[in-house]
Amino acid sequence: MTVTADELIEEPGRTSGAHPAVGAGELTVWNRAMVDSGATLNLSGVGRPTVDKHSTGGVGDKVSLVLVPLVAACGAAVPQLSGRGLGHGGGTLDKMEAIAGWRAALTVEEMGSQLRSVGAMIAAATDDLNPADRRLYQLRDVTSTVDSIPLIASSIISKKVAEGTDALVLDVKTGSGAFMVDVDRARELARTMVDLGEDSGVRTVALITGMHTVLGRSAGNALEVAEAIEVLNGHGPDDVVKVTLALAQEMLTLVDIDVDPASVLASGKALEVFERMVTAQGGNLSVGLPVAEHRQMIASPAGGYLSRLDCRAVGVAAWRLGAGRARKEDPVSATAGVVCLAKPGEKVEAGQALLELHCDDLDRFDAAITALEEAIEVVDEAPELPSLLIDRIAR
């Protein structure tokens, strides 16, 4: 069945979500005004319950690349509209664009068709969805209000309401590599977003997860795609698998699907959905992922246990190698990044390679190495590591 644009899109002011009742909080009213500044998607005709996930971002956070096809393989439709990276955090669209031929821009008709046939998409938002958010972000940037929790919450939730999803799971990161370094601030943001989502008619839950060190073992666009495919093949780093399955279970619970995501991941069905999703958006996995021309190793300064590998420093190093951008218009390198050959808690030897830097431009290595000067700490005793799954916030 073909889904037309008229069936999927609603004009400004005709949104299908619940409108705030008289007396609702000012943030809910503000959020609705942002949603109503543009068109909204109506996903009621895709034939499956819809649920999405949003992460506040971190270093090596390739979870969406696994989670979206996994939840679709479990029976839901996942209409993920994602963004590009800025600064030390990577963007999901930048990662996917490391795949030859893959395109982020889909028409409304293509979104509907893909959600019906594949059940999953990762795409860029269309220009007419929530245009107020783009204008407001420009104002926040020049008024020092980028870190305002109400404005962060409304920016995220208004986009998801405009997207038309029935339910939403939030992955709120905390730690040195996260936007919300302090866990109490992370909880405040999570609570604000959960309340705002629920008040806007979207079933919403948040998990607070640790971003004290790199998630997985890679930070960089093609490197993270390769690692995500490894997880979809039933392997990959335990921390990526753990966070992905926790989020998947929350997403499925919200839309009343009683399926074990771990079993589906192990079955290979999620990998099949990923391959179909990539193909539907013009991607060609058979040609392989691009690799960097040059590599350089960072060695352990001593023997013992790696107790700290600072997440933000690794993210900055990857950014300086070309994996990220300082301005929205900057290009990014598909091949640049950092591979963690050891992670905190692991035993290391003096002189052992801990990090592998990837880059196509030799001139970038010095700045990346400088970013890592204070990032590594080795101790004699096995360290106690911070929790990965910290809290769950729900109404």
Domain membership of residue 33 (yes or no) is yes
Residue 219 in tokens: 């930070």
Q: Indicate the number of domains in the chain.
A: 2
Residue from 53, 62, 95, 159 carrying the catalytic annotation: 159
Residue from 116, 140, 191, 242 carrying the catalytic annotation: 140
Domain membership of residue 9 (yes or no) is yes
- CATH number of domain containing 330: 3.90.1170.30
By CB atoms closer than 10 A (0-12, 13-18, 19+), residue 149 is middle
Residues 219, 326, single domain; the answer is: no
Residue from 54, 160, 212, 312 carrying the catalytic annotation: 54
Active site residue 133: yes
Active site residue 155: yes
Residues 255, 307, single domain; the answer is: no
Domain boundary among 248, 264, 286: 286
Element housing 51 (H / E): strand 51-55
Residues 99, 146, single domain; the answer is: yes
Which region, left, alpha or beta, applies to residue 135 given φ > 0 means left and ψ of -120 to 50 means alpha?
alpha
Residue 217 has pLDDT above 90, yes or no: yes
CB atoms within 10 A of CB 178: 28
Domain membership of residue 170 (yes or no) is yes
Give this prediction's pTM: 0.92
Domain boundary among 286, 313, 328: 286
- What mean pLDDT, rounded, does the chain reach? 91
Amino acid 15: pLDDT: 41
How far is 283 from 301, CA to CA, in rounded Å? 42
Residue 20 has pLDDT above 50, yes or no: no
Residues 308, 182, single domain; the answer is: no
Residue 110 has pLDDT above 90, yes or no: yes
Residue 18 has pLDDT above 50, yes or no: no
Residue 206 has pLDDT above 80, yes or no: yes
Domain membership of residue 386 (yes or no) is no
Domain membership of residue 388 (yes or no) is no
Residue from 55, 64, 113, 155 carrying the catalytic annotation: 155
| pLDDT > 70 fraction of the chain, expressed in percent and rounded | 93
- The predicted-structure confidence for 268-314, as pLDDT tens digits, reads as follows 999 999 999 999 999 999 999 999 999 999 999 999 999 999 999 99
Residue from 94, 133, 171, 199 carrying the catalytic annotation: 133
- CATH number of domain containing 29: 3.40.1030.10
Domain boundary among 260, 286, 312: 286
Give the residue numbers spanning the domain of 275: 5-286
pLDDT band at 141 (very low <50, low <70, confident <90, very high): confident
Domain membership of residue 193 (yes or no) is yes
Amino acid 87: pLDDT: 63
Active site residue 54: yes
